[in-house]
Amino acid sequence: MAIRGILFDIGDTLVGATLLQQTVLLETVRDLPAKSWVIDSNAFLQSYQEADSDPSLDLELNVNHLYSDPLIVERAFALLSRSFSETFLKIYRTKLRSKLRYDSQLVDIMTNLRNHGIRLGIVSNGTSQEQREQLTLLGIIEFFDPILISQEVGVLKPDPRIFLLAKEKWLLEPAEILVVGDRGDWEVLGAKRAGMQSALTTQFVDRRDTIPPNVQPDYIIERLDQLLPIVKEAL
């Protein structure tokens, strides 16, 4: 079946969110002693990751993991018997934004796909402002229509309804759409439920262990530039 549209996840698909988050968290904590908030960096990172990995957060429409959330930071501080600080979150987000920069490789990939007649869209769990800001800072937001974010549409991946909104926008058959993401339990499973194709990317984090039983991606890719050959072969 020909691929005429591609839906992308954002975190750990278009940007290495996991590594970026760890880097910025450590930089932020190391800046705290100057503000008389002495916290061991490794201890805080461990407590933060424990708070951030709470499965209940995956059921929230309005939580952004990369930009963090007061709920996550408050839990992380509580695990260290500390009180939540808005200042910490402000410093973290400022440092994070400074590291989200124009990505010429991503621009080239999206340009090549669009030049081959492929429609491009976003399907992401998270908050609207922050997800759109990431795309803007990376220099690629203009390539995507629609941009479907859980906070806006009221549906979370892997619910097939969020994927099928793109099908309605593009007037394509579900099987003509490829969903690209790093999680088997979100993108691969969601694509399967929606009748779409899927590609699991391992470029930033290898999450093949999240693929549910009896569900397999159509493709596993190490880099996004492998998508164009897949598209050409499917013609």
The whole-number pLDDT of residue 35 equals 60
Instruction: Tell me the three state secondary structure of residue 222.
Output: coil
Render pLDDT for 165-215 as a digit per residue (tens, 0 to 9). Answer: 999 999 999 999 999 999 999 999 999 999 999 999 999 999 999 999 999
CATH number of the domain encompassing residue 111: 3.40.50.1000
Domain tally, the chain: 2
Domain end residue (candidates: 99, 132, 165): 99
Average pLDDT, the chain: 93
With pLDDT > 90 as the criterion, what percentage of the chain qualifies? 77
Render pLDDT for 25-80 as a digit per residue (tens, 0 to 9). Answer: 989 888 776 565 657 788 888 999 999 999 998 888 889 999 999 889 889 988 98
d(CA 33, CA 100): 25
Tokens of 128: 């609207």
Global pTM reads 0.94
Nearest-Å Rg of the Cα atoms of the chain is: 18
Q: Is the pLDDT of residue 17 over 70?
A: yes
Tokens of 83: 């009180």
The whole-number pLDDT of residue 38 equals 59
Q: What separation in angstroms does the CA of 24 have from each of 93, 103, 121?
A: 9, 19, 28
Q: Which residue has the higher pLDDT, 80 or 103?
A: 103
Q: Do residues 59 and 156 make contact, with C-beta atoms less than 8 angstroms apart?
A: yes
Range of the domain at 122: 5-16+101-234
Residues 219 and 203 reside in one and the same domain? yes
Render pLDDT for 67-80 as a digit per residue (tens, 0 to 9). Answer: 999 889 889 988 98
For the chain, the residue count is 235
Half-sphere exposure of 104 (CA within 13 A, CB side): 0
Residues 113 and 95 reside in one and the same domain? no
Q: Is the pLDDT of residue 145 over 90?
A: yes
Residues 127 and 47 reside in one and the same domain? no
Residues 93 and 117 reside in one and the same domain? no
Q: Write the single-letter amino acid at 34.
A: A
The 8-class DSSP code of residue 154 comes to S
The whole-number pLDDT of residue 43 equals 85
Residues 60 and 126 reside in one and the same domain? no
Domain end residue (candidates: 99, 132, 147): 99
Q: Which residue has the higher pLDDT, 106 or 73?
A: 106
d(CA 222, CA 55): 27
Q: Write the single-letter amino acid at 139.
A: G
Residues 25 and 125 reside in one and the same domain? no
